[in-house]
Chain A
């Protein structure tokens, strides 16, 4: 959209807004419209030159520009012909409806009801044929889990989770002080301070099997980390792994976030290279195990060692006759401290 379209679009809302807020500060109006105070002043200079056809002083919108520039206060009048904002465009109402649908998927209890009724009112302002045309699916976990977490957060109460860990691949029962629920890549996460770990942790809501109050108040652990928008923002450190993928393994490039691959990587014909951030080596190990022979590690060297070790342990149990297992030269002593 051109600058003039933006500006006129804003003025068509700003003019009725200012009539409903006589004497409002320039700063406050700027905050409400998400622009700089200087931009609001430029907008007012346009409005000041506009009005009903005829061009007589009585026809023009009145603004006390001295008060704007001096006290930073806006009084706008003689604009009865623009007393209501314009209808929503399809883009506006759909963006807002979609945003509210996401809030609805994350809210709990009474606030969830309020989100749904706000949504109904907004959808009434849109063409129903349009609102069906955007669908949102959020992995928000079970309603009862969200309800307990929401009330625990607002009342400052400690909880015990039964949690199916993803990277660690086992079920644990951490005691945590919950503070916030974030959404990343379509899934809701609890941000909480883990008493066992003495550190901030995130827990995917749809992996929280049960949550119960621990019977004591939460304590103050300072500010939690800022919400992360992308999954990989959360990956601490800057460890990466560059992999070569057969076409049959290429789906992982759409499934996991990636970073740029170094320019000098060469892979066999028909293979593709991809570089992934790796916060926890266990994640890479389970990925390599899943992909079997469809992947090679380009770098760092030795990143496949744990996967080899685990595959060998499993084969020893499944196919004890395997020659690969019998060869002791494959056992790497540096793997002794591997975390299971």
Chain B
């Protein structure tokens, strides 16, 4: 059955490519062998499904009439210019880049989309070179279960709704997807509040429901992805703290800061750094995680917060203390 269907779809494609005028359903039925043995109703059903299948694959089937002045019957054709891949050629170095690109995706459906894109390039005479650039091993993962559906909904501009951890159910018009630090985010118009919002795809709690209509909304032309990506960052530092760092420890904090005069009271072996920060909570975490190689000096409330958190460590894990007290 599958073989007969493949045969019919391929013959239908060739038939519609070979015609210049639009072909009526009746002409198509006579021309494509796979339709010969079907009843009227079965032909209508099968032809509709075949058309949908080919369009889903990206085959640009046009609908129209041959004579604008008469009420002619609707017909179908594929315009060669919109079907064929335009001419394209690559230098040897660019072919190496394409060769490295073949290895990037480790997510099933994007990997197979990449493979079929490369198959089309090969069919156009472009042969990616996989032997060079072997010293880099780029890879993208997408292990978020909801990734696939949200990725394709975004590219096809379909509305999508999903459960979201720690909040209400969302319905969005997805505008773009972003990958950073190995995680995927989707930005879109949150329909309920009519404002753009960013969602972390790993926080989607169920199988997203994707709208039936492709191209069902317009993405703002002035969409500034770089600015939106910055909104994911911790924010610009607007305060500074003085911390003491022992020797060559805590490099992340050390390189963020500038060496300043060592204040009295810092134990020997520690140097003082002025460190900019955006959120005190994050800095407290950074300091505590490196304790006692990093010690807070000022402001006093930072010092107090670090002391409180370190006492929390004792409360949580010291067998001599009462857990949860």
A15: chain B residues within 8 A (beta carbon): 123
A329: chain B residues within 8 A (beta carbon): 320
Residue of A whose beta carbon sits closest to that of B293? A169
Least CB distance, B245 to chain A, in whole angstroms: 10
- Is B119 a contact partner of A52 (Cβ separation < 8 A)? no
Is B248's beta carbon under 8 Å from chain A?
A: yes
Q: How many A-B residue pairs have CB under 8 A?
A: 394
- Is B155 a contact partner of A94 (Cβ separation < 8 A)? yes
Contact of B6 among A8, A134, A254 (CB under 8 A): A8
Contact of B255 among A110, A181, A187, A209 (CB under 8 A): A209
Is A121's beta carbon under 8 Å from chain B?
A: yes
A99-B140, A103-B104, A125-B85 known; A293 vs B17 contact (CB < 8 Å): no
**Those of B11-69 within 8 Å (CB) of chain A:** 11, 13-15, 17-18, 31-33, 53-54, 56-60
**Those of B268-325 within 8 Å (CB) of chain A:** 285-286, 288-293, 295-296, 303, 306-318, 320-321, 323-324
- Is A99 a contact partner of B85 (Cβ separation < 8 A)? no
Is B122's beta carbon under 8 Å from chain A?
A: yes
A185-B141, A296-B323 known; A90 vs B57 contact (CB < 8 Å): no
* Bound-complex Cα distance A152 to B107 (A): 31
A107: chain B residues within 8 A (beta carbon): 97, 100, 133, 136
A172: chain B residues within 8 A (beta carbon): 248
* Bound-complex Cα distance A2 to B100 (A): 29
Least CB distance, A19 to chain B, in whole angstroms: 9
* Bound-complex Cα distance A117 to B134 (A): 19
**Those of B97-120 within 8 Å (CB) of chain A:** 97-98, 100-102, 104-106, 109-111, 113-120
- Is A4 a contact partner of B9 (Cβ separation < 8 A)? yes
Least CB distance, A194 to chain B, in whole angstroms: 18
Is A201's beta carbon under 8 Å from chain B?
A: no
* Bound-complex Cα distance A319 to B307 (A): 8
* Bound-complex Cα distance A99 to B109 (A): 13
Contact of B138 among A13, A103, A133, A179 (CB under 8 A): A103
* Bound-complex Cα distance A169 to B295 (A): 14
- Is A292 a contact partner of B288 (Cβ separation < 8 A)? yes
A214: chain B residues within 8 A (beta carbon): none
Q: Can you spell out 21 A-B residue pairs with CB atoms less than 8 angstroms apart?
A: A4-B5, A8-B6, A8-B10, A11-B6, A16-B123, A45-B3, A49-B7, A87-B58, A92-B114, A103-B101, A111-B96, A135-B176, A170-B250, A184-B182, A229-B141, A294-B312, A296-B323, A311-B314, A314-B306, A322-B311, A324-B321
Interface residues in chain B, defined as those with a beta carbon under 8 Å from any beta carbon in chain A: 2-3, 5-7, 9-11, 13-15, 17-18, 31-33, 53-54, 56-60, 82-86, 88, 90-91, 93-94, 96-98, 100-102, 104-106, 109-111, 113-125, 132-141, 143, 152, 154-156, 175-183, 200, 202-203, 219, 223, 225-226, 229, 247-252, 254-255, 267, 285-286, 288-293, 295-296, 303, 306-318, 320-321, 323-324
